[in-house]
Amino acid sequence: MIQSVLVANRGEIARRVFRTCRELGITGVAVHSDADARAAHTREADAAVRLPGDAPADTYLRGDLVVKAALAAGADAVHPGYGFLSENAEFARAVLDAGLTWIGPPPEAIEAMASKTRAKDLMARAGVPLLAAIDPRDATDGDLPLLVKAASGGGGRGMRIVRDLADLPGELAAASTEAASAFGDGEVFVEPYVERGRHVEVQVLADDHGAVRVLGTRDCSLQRRHQKVIEEAPAPGLPDHLRATLHEAAAEAARAIGYRGAGTVEFLVSGERAHFLEMNTRLQVEHPVTELVHGIDLVALQLRVAEGEPLDPEPPAPSGHAVEARLYAEDPARDWQPQTGVMHRLRLPETRHVRLDSGITDGDAISVHYDPLLAKVIAWAPTRAEAVRRLAYVLEHAHLHGPVTNRDLLVRSLRHPDFAAARLDTGFYDRHLADLNTPPDPSAEALSALAAALAEATAHAAGPTLPLRLGGWRNVISAPRTKSYRSEPSGTVHEIAYHHTRDGLRTDDPTTRLLHATPTAITLETDGIARTFDVTTHDRTHVDSPLGAFTFTPLPRFPDPTARTEPGSLLAPMPGTVIRVADVAVGDPVEAGQPLLWLEAMKMEHRITAPTAGTLTALHATPGTQVDVGTLLAVVTPNDEPQ
DSSP 589: E
What's the predicted TM-score (pTM) here? 0.85
Closest CA to 278 of 165, 158, 370, 195: 158
Mean pLDDT of the 550-573 span = 75
DSSP string of 88-112, one letter each residue: -HHHHHHHHHTTPEESSS-HHHHHH
Average pLDDT over residues 131-154: 82
- Taking residues 285-301, what's their average pLDDT? 98
Instruction: Report, as an integer, the average pLDDT of 299-325.
Output: 97
pLDDT digits (tens, 9 = 90+) for 615-629: 999 888 888 888 877
| Average pLDDT score over the chain | 90
What does the pLDDT read at residue 101?
98
Task: Inform me whether the pLDDT recorded for 419 exceeds 70.
Answer: yes
642 pLDDT more than 80: no
Q: Distance between CA 637 and CA 621 in Å, rounded?
A: 17
- Among the listed residues 198, 282, 304, 384, the single catalytic one is 282
Among 67-81, 164-178, 235-249, 343-357, name the one with the lowest average pLDDT.
Answer: 164-178
Which long-range CB contacts under 8 A does 390-395 form with residues at least 24 apart?
Answer: 390/351, 390/353, 390/354, 391/323, 391/324, 391/325, 391/354, 393/349, 393/351, 394/348, 394/349, 394/351, 394/354, 395/325, 395/327
Give the side-chain half-sphere CA count within 13 A for 429: 22
Give 613's Cβ-side CA count (13 Å radius): 3
| CA-based torsion, 441, 444, 450, 453: positive or negative | negative
pLDDT of amino acid 417 = 97
- Residue 473: the pLDDT is 45
How far apart, in whole angstroms, are the C-alpha atoms of residue 590 and residue 609? 10
Contact of 214 with 204, CB cutoff 8 Å: yes
Which of 80-89, 231-240, 331-340 has the least mean pLDDT? 331-340
pLDDT digits (tens, 9 = 90+) for 449-490: 999 999 999 998 755 433 444 344 445 456 788 999 999 988
- Per DSSP bridges, beta strands 373-381 and 354-358 are antiparallel
Question: What value, to the nearest 5°, has the Cα angle with vertex 470 and ends 465 and 474?
Answer: 160
Mean pLDDT over residues 375-394, rounded? Answer: 98
Q: Are 555 and 543 in contact (CB under 8 A)?
A: no
* Average pLDDT estimate for 481-509: 88
pLDDT at 562 over 60: no
48 pLDDT more than 90:
yes
Determine the pLDDT at residue 471. 43
Q: Please determine, for residue 183, whether its predicted confidence score (pLDDT) is greater than 90.
A: no
Q: What is the mean pLDDT of residues 267-290?
A: 93
What are the residues whose beta carbons fall under 8 Å from the beta carbon of 372, sequence distance 6 or more?
A: 328, 329, 330, 338, 339, 340, 366, 602
| Residue 246: closest CA among 222, 221, 214, 271 | 214
- Phi-psi domain of 192 (left: phi exceeds 0; alpha: psi -120 through 50; beta: other): beta
Domains annotated on the chain, with CATH: 4-103 (3.40.50.20), 132-192 (3.30.1490.20), 199-414 (3.30.470.20), 442-554 (3.30.700), 569-638 (2.40.50.100)
In one-letter notation, the amino acid at residue 566 is E
Residue 319's pLDDT band (cuts 50, 70, 90): very high
Is 89 within 8 Å of 111 (Cβ atoms)?
Answer: yes
332 has pLDDT over 90: yes
The verdict on whether 390 is a catalytic residue reads: no
Q: How confident is the model at residue 408 (pLDDT cuts 50, 70, 90)?
A: very high
Of the segments 134-143, 311-320, 578-587, which one has the largest average pLDDT value? 311-320
380 and 320 Cβ atoms separated by less than 8 Å: yes
Q: Which residue has the higher pLDDT, 568 or 211?
A: 211
Helix axis angle for 287-294 and 298-306, nearest 10°, is 90
Higher per-residue pLDDT: 468 or 443 = 443
Q: CB–CB of 275/242 below 8 Å? A: no
* Residues ≥6 apart with Cβ < 8 Å to 214: 202, 203, 204, 247, 250, 251, 315
pLDDT band at 65 (very low <50, low <70, confident <90, very high): very high
pLDDT band at residue 525 under the 50/70/90 scheme: very high
Mean pLDDT for the stretch of residues 283-290: 98
Contact yes or no for 6/70 (Cβ under 8 A): yes
Residue 128: per-residue pLDDT: 76
Lowest mean pLDDT among 46-55, 155-164, 357-366: 155-164
Residue of 572 and 324 predicted with greater confidence: 324
Predicted pLDDT at 470: 38
Residue 468: per-residue pLDDT: 42
Average pLDDT over residues 274-281: 91
H-run or E-run covering 17: helix 11-24
CB 396 within 8 A of CB 444: no
Query: Given pLDDT bands bounded at 50, 70 and 90, which one contains residue 383?
Result: very high
Report, as an integer, the average pLDDT of 565-570: 74
Cβ contacts of 560 within 8 Å, gap of 6 or more: none
Q: What is the DSSP letter of 24?
A: H
Q: Give the mean pLDDT of 106-125.
A: 85
Whether cis (ω within 30° of 0) applies to the bond prior to 489 is: yes
Higher pLDDT, 181 or 617: 617
Q: How far apart are CA 248 and CA 253, in angstroms?
A: 9
The pLDDT of residue 606: 78
The residue-averaged pLDDT of 533-558 equals 93
Q: Please determine, for residue 355, whether its predicted confidence score (pLDDT) is greater than 70.
A: yes
Which 3 state secondary structure label does DSSP give 489?
coil
> To which H or E segment does residue 375 belong?
strand 373-381
